[in-house]
Amino acid sequence: MNHPVIKEFRDFLMRGDIIALAVAFIMAGAFGLVVTAFTDGIVMAFIAAIFGKPSFDSIGLDVGDGRLYIGTFLTALANLVIVAAAVFFFIVKPVKILTERKKEAGEPVPEAEDVVLLREIRDLLKTRQ
């Protein structure tokens, strides 16, 4: 069956940006497992060696009949900082260094497709005036 809608859907799925997004999603999942293992196995173990417990979850404050679980927030915050540091040092920084090397070597760095499109629109608007 070669219905136009099915063909359009197949073309949509086979576009390069959709494939790249799928690959990025899979890699993010794998990267998340590595960061979780690093956080739980090394950082939280180090915290346990210093504070006696592998997380801050037990830290809390009793207020009336309830309890504020401040430690749960601190543990989540520590995990966020670790993930952000891992993303920065292992993804953002190396990509920035590679891009700067390409600029220094005189290699043309490809512009983002949306930037090129916006420039074309700007130029078309200028010619209309």
The reported pLDDT for the residue numbered 49 is: 85
Spatial neighbors of 79 by CB under 8 A, at least 6 apart, are 39
Q: How confident is the model at residue 8 (pLDDT cuts 50, 70, 90)?
A: confident
The answer to which of 6-15, 23-32, 77-86 has the lowest mean pLDDT is: 6-15
pLDDT in tens, 69-101: 888 888 888 878 887 888 888 888 988 898 888
- pLDDT over 80 (residue 55): no
Is residue 74 within 8 A of residue 56, CB to CB? The reply is: yes
Buried b (16+ CB within 10 A) or exposed e, 49-73: eeeeeebbeebeeeeeeeeeeebee
Could you give the number of structural domains in the chain? 1
The reported pLDDT for the residue numbered 39 is: 78
The reported pLDDT for the residue numbered 78 is: 81
pTM for the whole structure: 0.51
Q: Distance between CA atoms of 13 and 63, rounded to whole angstroms?
A: 53
Residue written as token pair 């809608």: 5
- pLDDT over 70 (residue 46): yes
- pLDDT over 80 (residue 51): no
The reported pLDDT for the residue numbered 16 is: 66
The reported pLDDT for the residue numbered 42 is: 84
- Interval 24-45 mean pLDDT: 83
- Give the CATH number, domain containing residue 20: 1.10.1200.120
Q: How many CB atoms lie within 10 A of CB 124?
A: 9
Q: Phi/psi of residue 66, each to 5°?
A: -110, 175
Spatial neighbors of 57 by CB under 8 A, at least 6 apart, are 69, 71, 72, 75
Containing domain of residue 101, as a range? Answer: 4-128
